């Protein structure tokens, strides 16, 4: 279907932040386009645990998560933080536990449920902004499409995840000032003696800059680590897998997937960036990520708030969308920061700062 040339709002990125922003703007009667550079359903590196807050927001705005999004074990009981091979502390995910989902299916379901027009294989290349609106320059590369397109809108919501080209253009200083981390994980066919109904975190600094993690999805044992950008993750990962083999009976078969992504320390330092003028940022693009890398809840929450701010600015409010969003998101910023302080206390060292 050909794209319209003008929308009330364009959302860049079809992750949870983008889907949530789109959902509330559509509900408010705005014309909304979501563009996503990858083909949907797209892979996203993630443990796919939907914590209590994520589940509450998902149910309220999108409904019950469909069965096809789930993997085995269907429910994860909580986070088990290990201090050594014997001592651990449990953080249960509430009474019902957390759905264990594949992000490709969950995210596609969310964005389709938003009711917005969704265009995958459509990359935001650049944009310009003035007092009246935003002009987007996109590479629209799906089959039978025409290549470059220009789209106009009154508001832009950047929900591109951590590597946000919108943030980089609007605030290049922040890009340089932030510290960057690499998260890396392997998916193997295999088994271990660790309880598959728990997500396991290992705080020993030999296993990573932040921590080493282990979880199970369908037939895969998944474990990963993190290091500073430009550093070497392989020594951490080797040490971690040796430890899991020796103490927790890890047995590895076929390596099914390796994946990695970058993250910044905006979340732990409180350097959130909510946008400029008519461009609002939500989710990881704005720096929202909770301790030990939980980010779906804050992506949903800030996406909803950004969408509400745009909807209100367009109707009865005298205020601009960014001002409304700044007010609405203050609690989310406070809680994110507090979660990283707790992470540092638990680890007994500064984490991500
Ligand atoms: C190893 C790991 C494990 C994790 N486990 C969990 C977990 O169990 N639970 C949890 O809550 N969180 C987890 N997280 C964090 C969570 O994955 C993220 O915080 C969350 O996905 C952020 O959502 P988002 O909508 O902000 O961005 P994303 O989900 O990253 O979505 C951004 C989208 O924007 C698209 N995009 C980017 N640039 C452009 C462009 N220029 N044009 C068009 N599209 C573009 C991308 O392709 C992508 O689809 C984990 C993260 C990692 C790295």
| Interval 42-58: pLDDT, tens | 999 999 999 999 999 99
In a domain, 168, yes or no: yes
CB of 295 sitting under 6 A from ligand 1: yes
Is residue 41 domain-shared with residue 133, that is, in the same domain?
A: yes
Is residue 227 domain-shared with residue 270, that is, in the same domain?
A: no
What is the rounded average pLDDT for all residues in the chain? Answer: 96
In a domain, 74, yes or no: no
Reported confidence tier of residue 29, pLDDT bands at 50, 70, 90: very high
Domain count along the chain = 2
In a domain, 63, yes or no: no
Interval between CA 39 and ligand 1 midpoint (Å): 15
Is residue 270 domain-shared with residue 259, that is, in the same domain?
A: no
Residues 46, 22 contacting (CB under 8 angstroms)? no
Reported confidence tier of residue 4, pLDDT bands at 50, 70, 90: confident
Residue nearest to ligand 1 atom 51, measured at CA: 46
pLDDT of residue 118: 97
Q: Each residue of 238-277: pLDDT tens digit? A: 999 999 999 999 999 999 999 999 999 999 999 999 999 9
Which comes out higher in pLDDT, residue 120 or 146? 120
User: What proportion of the chain, given as a percentage, has pLDDT over 70?
Assistant: 99
Is residue 212 domain-shared with residue 285, that is, in the same domain?
A: no
Interval between CA 249 and ligand 1 midpoint (Å): 31
Interval between CA 281 and ligand 1 midpoint (Å): 13
Interval between CA 44 and ligand 1 midpoint (Å): 6
CB of 201 sitting under 6 A from ligand 1: no
Is residue 153 domain-shared with residue 134, that is, in the same domain?
A: yes
Last residue of a domain, one of 264, 287, 315: 264
Q: Each residue of 130-171: pLDDT tens digit? A: 988 999 999 999 888 879 999 999 999 999 999 999 999 999
* Nearest atom of ligand 1 to the alpha carbon of 284: 26
Is residue 120 domain-shared with residue 218, that is, in the same domain?
A: no
Q: Is the pLDDT of residue 77 over 80?
A: yes
CA distances from 272 to 167, 168, 267, 285, 320 (A): 11, 13, 7, 9, 19
Is residue 251 domain-shared with residue 273, that is, in the same domain?
A: no
We report the CATH number of the domain holding residue 152 as 3.50.50.60
pLDDT of residue 351: 83
pLDDT of residue 316: 67
CB of 168 sitting under 6 A from ligand 1: no
Cis peptide before 41 (omega within 30 of 0): yes
Residues 223-247 have a mean pLDDT of 96
pLDDT of residue 352: 81
Give the list of residues 6+ apart from residue 205 with CB closer than 8 angstroms, or none: 349
Range of the domain at 38: 6-48+102-177+266-347
In a domain, 66, yes or no: no
* Nearest atom of ligand 1 to the alpha carbon of 16: 25
Interval between CA 253 and ligand 1 midpoint (Å): 28
Residues 17-35 have a mean pLDDT of 98
Q: Please report, to the nearest 10 degrees, the dihedral formed by the alpha carbons of residues 200, 79, 215, 263 taken in order.
A: -90
Q: Each residue of 173-202: pLDDT tens digit? A: 999 999 999 999 999 999 999 999 999 999
We report the CATH number of the domain holding residue 213 as 3.30.9.10
Interval between CA 71 and ligand 1 midpoint (Å): 19
* Nearest atom of ligand 1 to the alpha carbon of 122: 43
In a domain, 53, yes or no: no
pLDDT of residue 347: 83
Interval between CA 285 and ligand 1 midpoint (Å): 9
Interval between CA 46 and ligand 1 midpoint (Å): 8
* Nearest atom of ligand 1 to the alpha carbon of 263: 53
Is residue 43 domain-shared with residue 114, that is, in the same domain?
A: yes
Is residue 187 domain-shared with residue 325, that is, in the same domain?
A: no
Is residue 245 domain-shared with residue 190, that is, in the same domain?
A: yes
* 123 bridge partner residues: 139
pLDDT of residue 315: 67
Which comes out higher in pLDDT, residue 348 or 24? 24
Residue with tokens 């249960």: 92
CB of 8 sitting under 6 A from ligand 1: no
Residue nearest to ligand 1 atom 48, measured at CA: 13
In a domain, 353, yes or no: no
pLDDT of residue 1: 74
Is residue 249 domain-shared with residue 296, that is, in the same domain?
A: no
Is residue 252 domain-shared with residue 272, that is, in the same domain?
A: no
* Nearest atom of ligand 1 to the alpha carbon of 38: 47
In a domain, 81, yes or no: no
Buried-state track 116-136, b at ≥16 Cβ within 10 A, e below 16: bbbbbbbebeebebeeebbeb
In a domain, 250, yes or no: yes
Last residue of a domain, one of 248, 264, 280: 264
* Nearest atom of ligand 1 to the alpha carbon of 125: 41
The whole-angstrom separation of Cα 19 and Cα 239 is 38
Q: Is the pLDDT of residue 101 over 90?
A: yes
Last residue of a domain, one of 243, 264, 285: 264
Q: Each residue of 329-353: pLDDT tens digit? A: 999 999 999 999 998 998 888 888 8
Give the list of residues 6+ apart from residue 144 with CB closer than 8 angstroms, or none: none
């Amino acid at each position: 279907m050909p794209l319209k040339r003008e929308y009330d709002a364009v959302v860049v990125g079809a992750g949870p932040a983008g889907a949530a922003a789109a959902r509330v703007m559509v509900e408010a009667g705005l014309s909304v386009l979501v563009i996503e550079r990858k083909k949907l359903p797209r892979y996203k590196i993630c443990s796919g645990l939907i914590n209590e807050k994520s589940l509450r927001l998902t149910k309220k705005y999108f409904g019950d998560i469909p069965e096809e999004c789930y993997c085995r074990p269907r429910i994860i009981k909580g986070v088990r933080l290990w201090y050594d091979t014997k001592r651990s502390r449990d953080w249960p995910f509430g009474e019902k536990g957390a759905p264990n989902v594949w992000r490709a299916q969950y995210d596609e379901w969310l964005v389709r449920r938003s009711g917005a027009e969704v265009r995958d294989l459509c990359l935001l290349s650049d944009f310009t902004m003035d007092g009246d609106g935003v002009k987007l320059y996109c590479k629209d590369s799906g089959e039978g499409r025409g290549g470059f397109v220009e789209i106009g809108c009154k508001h832009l919501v950047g929900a591109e995840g951590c590597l946000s080209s919108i943030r980089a253009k609007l605030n290049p200083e922040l890009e340089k000032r932030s510290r960057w981390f690499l998260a890396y994980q392997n998916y193997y066919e295999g088994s271990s003696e660790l309880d598959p109904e728990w997500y396991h975190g290992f705080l020993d600094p030999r296993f990573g800059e932040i921590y080493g993690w282990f979880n199970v999805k369908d037939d895969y044992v998944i474990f990963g680590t993190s290091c500073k950008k430009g550093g070497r993750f392989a020594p951490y990962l080797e040490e971690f897998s040796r430890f899991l083999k020796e103490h927790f009976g890890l047995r590895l078969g076929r390596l099914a997937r390796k994946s990695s992504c970058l993250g910044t320390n905006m979340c732990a330092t409180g350097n959130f960036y909510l946008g400029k003028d008519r461009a609002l940022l939500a989710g990881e693009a704005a720096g929202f990520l909770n301790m030990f890398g939980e980010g779906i809840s804050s992506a949903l929450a800030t996406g909803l708030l950004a969408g509400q701010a745009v909807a209100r600015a367009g109707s009865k409010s005298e205020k601009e969308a960014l001002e409304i969003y700044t007010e609405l998101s203050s609690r989310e910023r406070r809680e994110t920061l507090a979660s990283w302080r707790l992470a540092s206390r638990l680890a007994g060292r500064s984490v991500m700062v």
